[in-house]
Structure 1
């Protein structure tokens, strides 16, 4: 591995949407200030290159926007060792010192919002207005955990014996492997790393192969903020090398904790690898969120909530509404209002276009999955009221389906795309039975103005997050985590930092009564 501590050059990249309608066929450029467009790994405070590199593609066009160093097991091992060495001194820093560094990092993210947002847009396809929102959201976790760092309190417990005192101390776990997804390439890193650093842990981040540029830009800003060498390490790698790098991050004895966001299937594999060394693990896995509209609902608010929940990031969020259940008394009016809203508010295009609300899906496989679910639903009797077509390689029209049943694929598996399938139901009991008939339980939403029903349904839904008359839930102050096979532990809130802390019992004996 070759060590280099030099800034990269400034890059200007131009992309064109091939094979798309004329309104979408435009040129867009990525122009980011030089220090933030990093393409090397960050290990022990230096930017380093592996022997090979892999391409990062604009999902809207398929054009290459950068080549990033392709780390393997050797680089991952060196990053873990660097984090382990740094932990010895980092854990000795005061909570105030860690708080101040996190606050500097937050300030730098805020100052560089536009450049960070451009990176998100070009490597993930997310519309620029949403990308700016993600940067603000991601920065908010650094702000929150900069404050929580100074609130990690232990306990003094009343002793049953007069000659001893019982103290419970909270100490950092150690080195944390942070494995993050592509759909929130900024915020999923800050939500995990902010908590880990606040607790006194050091980290090795493996970003998704589709979106490494955002992670490396965050690492550059962490360097500028003044974090000591080895405290924050980032090892990007290609899809081909992900299994071998992941194996190091989940099995190395020097790693004490794993935090992963991704699919349930991948989470299970990582847990198996972590079992041999009994590592602590936080898992934020798949969702299949129900969105229930009862007869008493304010339909305008329900439609607004559905639009926000379903079509954010073109439907590619883990808490995205996936199964829409609408009570018979309001079904027809809801479908009409939903169709009007989709027609008026949604526009396909490159994320860099300020008029775009729906960018591409992350790749062709993602678009194919949505198209397959639409075709399956239609073959089983559903009707396409809006959209339904695939555009180009990675775009999918926002789609509204009526006449949906529980036997259709879109009601059985997570979509991760702009598909809104609506099932008609009669009773509250029926809706809850359908909503809870899933092996996962991350988020759930419902609209009702019946106060008794609000409490009944909120308590009965088998999910970790419930939106009542609200389609957007996430905030640093609130706990984020699922039940059933949607994961282990939680992120954000005062509870998020606890995932990176051990409780040590100290018995102070021999005291004079």
Structure 2
């Protein structure tokens, strides 16, 4: 734990385990309610000074952080892979992306503009300025332990906020290393405070405190709803990046090879443990069989193993509960008529049996009665459904409470515009499964979230203040 610029030792520890082999990675200090309160006091005490630093000073510190992250790229990527399992190629992308967020918001720190408002009276002048909201709490998940934190802290620090951090207890080491980088790069005392521990002892304290002005959370919709309820008691500002259930649509006029490759990447990157992963795959009837044949051939060739092996493409799931969920969804689908074309069970060959590995799986003949078509999967299982018309597939794709990411493939420009405009999602990839960039907004519709990160994300950490000046006129 890191509170008021001090690393604090505790008797009680949290065990961090490598999901690829079950081995202990590290024991970290477990915080208590008292630690959560001390963190608030530290951040509140530092806010007055940090919020009044110049934009240039904050920008220079963030530039140093961005550079230091890149200098430690290989080390940080190895930490991510070891604590949560994703293949190194995905972990390296995560580190590079994390650095890019600090670089972007280093520049945005100097662009926090107000505006002059035309007045209706000759003796009055009106203007707005933007000021940091105050102490913020960033609560992050295990699947992107460095990037999610960077995406929240970089705009918060750029805006002049002081920060409380609670990373997932399953993958907290990346957050600890990021805080060490903050120390190296001159983030002042009290501006950053890190506490690991249970939600009841840490997050609830921050939610109840009137001194914490904003909560930024990434995680499940169910947990997000509960946090919003608790935040309402002190009228906190909240931004939420919640669950997803992304449709992936392939129209008959699509470039089939491109669509197959895209479907491989967006389903199996990070072993399917991303909120933007394709969860429902719709293929038009006339190309359904050809798509499946090509897709299954490639899925069968995906190397499964410890993410530290550079040949590995699919790593372990995070824990036994994830394996159980995969089994439940697959068995439910098969009981309702789905056909397993490959995979369909836990990987049990000798090098993998001690880890939480699930075979890359493709299900055909899937229908809407199955759990997997409504429940977020978060694993390497691809359910494929057949559709006939554009109108039909749009109705199916939008028939969900979620609205984060979506993808479709077509070479028809008119269709591209129609489908883009009619998909009820905050992010739409057209012939593109990587529509994510630091300079682009990232946020969901419906129960997939509130607010945006990335571009415009700094506004989530600012308050707008109106000044109206009544002048004495000569």
Q: Deviations over 1:235-293 (max 9, x none)?
A: 112xxx22221101211111000000000000011111111100000000000000000
Shift of 1:51: 3.2
Query: Which of 447, 455, 459 is equivalent to 2:421?
Result: 459
Is the Cα contact below 8 Å between 1:83 and 1:202 reproduced in 2? yes
Please, which of 53, 63, 66 is the counterpart of residue 103 of structure 1?
A: 63
Structure 1 runs (4+) deviating above 4 angstroms are none
- Which of 179, 183, 192 is 1:232 aligned to? 192
Whether 1:360 and 2:321 are equivalent positions in the alignment is no
Query: 2: distance between equivalents of 1:249 and 1:394?
Result: 33
> What CA deviation, in whole Å up to 9, does each residue of 1:438-484 have, x standing for no partner?
01100010001111111111111111000000011211000000000
Say how many residue pairs are matched: 468
* 1:266 has 2:223 as partner: yes
Instruction: Give how far 1:142 is off.
Output: 0.4
- Give the TM-score, by structure 2 length: 0.98
Partner residue in 2 for 1:377: 333
1:390 correspondence with 2:351: no
**Mapped partners of 1:511, 1:461: distance in 2:** 55
For residues 419-452 of structure 1, the C-alpha deviation after alignment (integer angstroms, 9 at most, x for no partner) is 1000000011110111011011000100011111
- Matched residue SS, 2:16: strand
The structural deviation recorded for 1:50 is: 2.6
Q: In the aligned structure 2, how far is the partner of 1:408 from the partner of 1:48?
A: 48
1:301 and 1:249 mapped to 2: Cα distance?
46
User: Is 1:468 aligned to 2:430, yes or no?
Assistant: yes
Q: Do structure 1's residue 293 and structure 2's residue 279 form an aligned pair?
A: no
Instruction: Say if 2:143 is the partner of 1:183.
Output: yes
From 305, 308, 312, the equivalent of 2:269 is 312
SS in 1 for 2:453: coil
- Stretches of structure 2 that go unaligned for 5 or more consecutive residues are 348-352
| CA distance in 1: counterparts of 2:163 and 2:449, whole angstroms | 21
C-alpha deviation, 1:128, in angstroms: 1.3
Contact 2:36 2:201 (8 Å CA) reproduced: no
Structure 1 residues not aligned, in runs of 5+: 1-40
Residue of structure 2 equivalent to 1:512: 473
- Secondary structure class of the residue paired with 1:77: helix
Equivalent residues in 2 for 1:133-152, closer than 5 Å: 133-152=93-112
Aligned to 1:442: 404
Task: Note the C-alpha offset of 1:307.
Answer: 1.0
Q: What is the CA–CA distance in structure 1 between the aligned matches of 2:425 and 2:230, rounded to whole Å?
A: 27
Taking the aligned partners of 1:470 and 1:132, their CA distance within structure 2 comes to 21
**Equivalent residue runs for 1:40-439 within 5 Å:** 41-237=1-197, 241-344=198-301, 346-391=302-347, 392=353, 394-439=356-401
The C-alpha deviation readout for 1:28-69, integer Å capped at 9, x for no partner, is xxxxxxxxxxxxx11111111233111000011111111000
CA contact (8 A) 2:18 2:84 kept: yes
1:292 and 1:447 in contact (8 A); partners too: yes
CA contact (8 A) 1:308 1:472 kept: no
What SS does structure 1 have at the residue aligned with 2:400? coil
1:19-38 residue pairs with structure 2 within 5 A?
none
Say if 2:3 and 2:194, in contact at 8 Å, map to a contact too. yes
Match of 1:107, SS state, is: helix
Q: How many angstroms apart in 1 are the aligned matches of 2:206 and 2:277?
A: 29
8 Å CA contact 2:65–2:185 kept in 1: the answer is yes
Can you list the C-alpha shifts for 1:174-231, whole angstroms capped at 9, x where unaligned? 0000000110000000000001000010100100010110000000001000000111
